[in-house]
């Protein structure tokens, strides 16, 4: 019974090792620089304030879904 699934388990193990090696290489060998443009003032001149991840009211989602359905 186990022999039937051996190739699938072997494939997943090889994929896991390959992805792990690529992930570790990308951490150590890629030049990572902080982008100060992201933290600078917007074009309008106002300093950024608040969080961009504000919860929206469900009405906005419903209007968007209706718009997609009607088109």
The rounded distance, in Å, linking the Cα atoms of 48 and 23 is 33
Q: 28 or 34: whose pLDDT is higher?
A: 28
Give one DSSP letter per residue of 7-58, joined into a string: HHHHHHHHHHHHHHHHHHHHHHHS-----GGGGS--TTSPPP-S-S-PPPPH
Examine the pLDDT at 50 and tell me if it is beyond 70: no
Per-residue pLDDT, averaged over 27-37, amounts to 78
Examine the pLDDT at 7 and tell me if it is beyond 80: yes
The rounded distance, in Å, linking the Cα atoms of 69 and 36 is 41
pTM given for the model: 0.43
The pLDDT mean for the chain works out to: 81
């Amino acid at each position: 019974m186990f022999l039937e699934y051996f190739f699938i388990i072997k494939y997943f193990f090889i994929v896991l090792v390959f992805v792990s090696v690529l992930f570790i290489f990308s951490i150590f060998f890629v030049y990572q620089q902080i982008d100060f443009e992201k933290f600078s003032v917007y074009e309008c001149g106002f300093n950024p304030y608040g969080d961009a991840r504000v919860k929206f009211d469900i009405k906005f989602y419903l209007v968007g879904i209706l718009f997609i359905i009607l088109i």
